[in-house]
């Protein structure tokens, strides 16, 4: 696999996690075979603990980025979870693949001259909108290996409760005492939309100087959510993109595999 040169990967498994509804497009889990069956995302240079991702592209479409949810040391395959937007350029084509069909992928990304720098803190405040929760799977896996971590508070914002099947990868953390999950359902009769008041209610107990934040969703929801957190005094980002100088700082997840 290469950052700039597309590599064809074959679909090995397809599972529908959420069948879709009038207000929520369906969600599918796709597992692809790596070109070298003895390789893993880790051996190919992916540091999923820093949010590394892949891009899929089809002829005539723009590239679309996805965060792998499988463990980076998994041999021979990698998995992504996608929401299938009917008018999207890439997601409908990925969802329409049959087993054995191939798609072009590039990675690991971001590009080599950029890197995400990790903020080491005691507490994490994480907010995910919809299928954006998949971007947190590897971050949670990595941060739980940190020696300094004391707590993680996750707010997952969904339309309806039935969409929680999207987060099947979160089951691994159900017994982890340092993680607390909160939920907001915007289309339920007893639900609540994510807003400044909810953010304050969920996160205001965390010490501002010792808390890093991360929001995942669309660009618009991320921008709005970071604005709410900033007004509360939470201004430290868990991951910050910057120019890479020299060697790349590795995540706890990467370090654990290298041991």
Binding site feature residues: 64, 66, 81, 90-91, 134
Report the C-alpha gap between 139 and 127 in whole angstroms: 12
Query: Which letter, b or e, does each residue of 235-253 get, where b requires 16 or more Cβ atoms within 10 Å of its Cβ?
Result: ebbbbeeeebeeeeebbbb
Q: What is the CA radius of gyration of the chain?
A: 18
Report the C-alpha gap between 77 and 232 in whole angstroms: 42
Vertex 159: Cα angle to 156 and 160 (nearest 5) = 95
Going by C-alpha positions, the residue among 38, 72, 37, 36 that lies closest to residue 54 is 72
Report the C-alpha gap between 79 and 29 in whole angstroms: 7
Alpha carbon distances (Å) from 209 to 91, 117, 140, 213: 40, 18, 21, 11
- What φ, ψ does residue 107 adopt, rounded to 5°? 160, 170
Binding site, annotated residues for FAD: 64, 66, 81, 90-91, 134
Q: Which two tokens stand for residue 218?
A: 């669309």
186-193 contacts at long range (C-beta below 8 A, 24 or more positions apart): 186/157, 186/158, 186/159, 187/23, 187/159, 187/160, 188/160, 188/161, 193/157
């Amino acid at each position: 696999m290469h950052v700039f040169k597309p590599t064809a990967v074959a679909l090995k498994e397809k599972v529908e996690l959420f069948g879709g509804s009038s207000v929520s497009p369906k969600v599918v889990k796709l597992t692809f075979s790596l070109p070298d069956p003895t390789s893993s995302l880790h051996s190919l240079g992916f540091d999923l603990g820093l949010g590394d991702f892949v891009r899929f592209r089809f002829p005539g479409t723009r590239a679309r980025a996805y965060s792998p949810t499988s463990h980076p040391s998994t041999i021979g395959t990698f998995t992504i979870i996608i929401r299938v937007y009917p008018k999207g350029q890439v997601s409908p084509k990925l969802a329409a693949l049959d087993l054995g069909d191939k798609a072009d992928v590039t990675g690991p990304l971001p590009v080599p001259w950029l890197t995400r720098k990790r903020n080491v803190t005691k507490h994490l405040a994480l907010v995910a909108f919809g299928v954006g929760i998949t971007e947190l799977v590897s971050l949670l896996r990595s941060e739980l290996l940190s020696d300094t971590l004391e707590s993680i508070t996750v707010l997952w914002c969904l339309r309806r409760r039935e969409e929680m099947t999207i987060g099947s990868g979160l089951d691994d953390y159900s017994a982890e005492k340092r993680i607390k999950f909160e939920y907001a359902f915007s289309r339920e009769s007893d639900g609540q939309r994510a807003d400044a008041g909810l953010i304050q209610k969920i996160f205001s107990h965390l010490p501002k100087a010792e808390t890093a934040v991360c929001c995942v969703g669309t660009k618009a929801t991320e921008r709005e959510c970071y604005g709410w957190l900033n007004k509360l005094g939470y201004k430290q980002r868990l991951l910050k993109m910057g120019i890479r100088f020299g060697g790349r700082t590795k995540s706890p997840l990467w370090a654990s595999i290298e041991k």
